[in-house]
Amino acid sequence: MNTPSHDVTHLLLDWNKGQQDALEQLMPLVYDELRHIAGRYLRKERPDHTLQTTALVHEAYIRLIDQNQANWQNRAQFFGVAAQMMRRILVDHARGHQADKRGGGAAKLSLDEAIEIADQREVDLIALDDALTNLAALDEQQSRIVELRYFGGLTVEEVAEVLKLSPATIKREWSMAKAWLHRELSK
């Protein structure tokens, strides 16, 4: 992510204060990075996926600007929330597609690419979402770390900043979450 964090953070803080012009200035600064996140998601989807990168970015951005309760703190938090929204949009899209097909054609993505699980297998996006929901019930923090690292593409340091934890804690929790997800998705 190459947008200067102080520019984005400054605009987010101004937006928190109700300055609508900050929102207008924010979009050009974050658009390319949102497209990058969306592209990373969609590369992991099935080849015939009907949702395009631009549509995913726009849908996520609309949801982001509708966040009246958001207390924006910094750039890393913003992109973490954006990644979470993109994940929700894709899961909703996959569930709708699966319902249309009466259970067939679930979206696939390679968990190995980001979570570094040893065996090469594709994971159903809905199964991954269900596993993350189960992980959140057991350990909300680990689930959030997976979401920010895997879906948001944030570094260990950026996740530590968002969650206000040490990088060592993030690394330890990340390792435990990967092991738990590997076991859960191997069933």
pLDDT of residue 119: 36
Could you tell me if 112 and 182 are in contact, meaning their C-beta atoms sit under 8 angstroms apart? no
Q: Identify the three-state secondary structure at position 124.
A: strand
pLDDT per position as a tens digit, 135-172: 999 999 999 898 888 877 788 998 898 888 999 999 99
pLDDT per position as a tens digit, 107-123: 444 444 434 433 333 45
Q: Identify the three-state secondary structure at position 47.
A: coil
> Is residue 31's pLDDT more than 80?
yes
What's the whole-number average pLDDT of the chain? 79
pLDDT per position as a tens digit, 70-107: 788 888 888 888 888 888 888 888 777 666 554 444 44
pLDDT of residue 114: 39
What is the distance between the alpha carbons of residues 32 and 14, in angstroms, rounded to a whole number?
21
Cα end-to-end span (Å), the chain: 35
**pTM for this one?**
0.67
Backbone region of residue 102 per phi and psi (left: phi > 0; alpha: psi in -120 to 50; beta: other values): left
Q: What is the mean pLDDT of residues 158-187?
A: 90
